[in-house]
Amino acid sequence: MCLVLLCSEEEKVLGTQQAPGSCPHCGGAVMATDVESARRLCFLPLSRSVKRKYSCTHCSRRLVAYP
């Protein structure tokens, strides 16, 4: 039996920039945010990942980009 307890997950904003396109809900500008997340098991770092998240500057909705 494997029991994993995740003690913390930290997110840190690396930078923001304006993305091309407009929000499909309200037509506002789209902002791209680079976020680094680090998962830790008590004191041991498990993994780090950098993701790009998109959101609307007008209605603050989180947007999903499909390839």
Q: What pTM was estimated for this model as a whole?
A: 0.73
Q: What is the pLDDT of residues 3-56, one digit of tens each?
A: 555 577 788 999 999 999 999 999 999 999 999 998 887 777 788 899 999 999
Residue 62 structure tokens: 């989180």
- SS3 for 1-67, per residue? CCCCCCCEEEEEEEEEEEEEEECCCCCCEEEEEEEEEEEEECCEEEEEEEEEEEEECCCCCEECCCC
Measured between alpha carbons, how far is 1 from 19 in angstroms, rounded to an integer? Answer: 46
Domain range summary for the chain, segments of one domain joined by +: 8-60
